[in-house]
Amino acid sequence: MKLSIIIPAYNEADRIVGTLTRTLAYLERQDYPSEVIVVSDGSSDETCRVAGRFQPGENIVLKTLEYHPNRGKGYAVRYGMLRSGGDIIMFMDADYSVPIEAVENGLHLIREGFDIAIASRALSGSVVVRHQNFLRELSARLYTLIQNYHLGIRYPDTQCGFKIFTAPAARNLFAQQKLDSVIFDPEILWLAKQNDFKVAQFPVVWRHAENSRIQYDSLKKSLFVFQELFRIKKLHRRE
């Protein structure tokens, strides 16, 4: 098995150090080869250069990819996923809100025959160490209800940035992805349903990271989320 880990990053020069330090240390303890791909999504800081300074162990390949201008988290994840070479491909957030050790639960589900394993903060057994503010959590619940009804899916948490795919599932789904924004997660899960991929969920320990690069601090940004959601079916219907 070869594991590919995609880390989308936008102006994460400060936080990428801790994330890569912990992730590479974990991978060096494993007996399988791996690659870590940091995708700098049009960053204006030193994200790509800082990530490139790391010297991983001999069983690990570290790549840094960068493009300009900023295109959105969905674009960054797709860019990395389609350029990876692993048998199992995952993405995780640059803020390390989910510890890399959680991959073990996901890999267990993949070995059991699932095509996709997604972390969920809403499952029994999950631990939220530091919550988001009350208004944001309430808004997220409302969004999830509308999202699941509209797309005909049943996931209590689609936005946790820690998802694992078999290579065939990843290449199939991300090649079809249309959205470049943060709402790419439900699009991928909706596409998984359309393509009959088997999806499993697993609980995680999750910690809210302050100074998130994705902010919903205005009515315009909040409405954009719903506009993106309602575009999913339309975009694929045209195709």
pLDDT number for residue 138: 67
Model confidence pLDDT, tens digit, residues 149-190: 999 999 999 999 999 999 999 999 999 999 999 999 999 999
| Burial degree of 209 (CB within 10 A; 0-12, 13-18, 19+) | middle
Task: Give dist(CA 145, CA 98) in Å, integer.
Answer: 24
pLDDT number for residue 137: 67
pLDDT number for residue 139: 73
Residues above pLDDT 70, as percent of the chain: 91
Number of domains comprising the chain:
1
Q: What is the CATH number of the domain that holds 164?
A: 3.90.550.10
Burial 139-176 (b: 16+ CB within 10 A, else e): ebeebbeebbeebebebebbbbbbbbbbbebbebbbeb
Residue 11 belongs to domain spanning: 3-238
Q: Tell whether the model's pLDDT for residue 134 goes beyond 60.
A: no
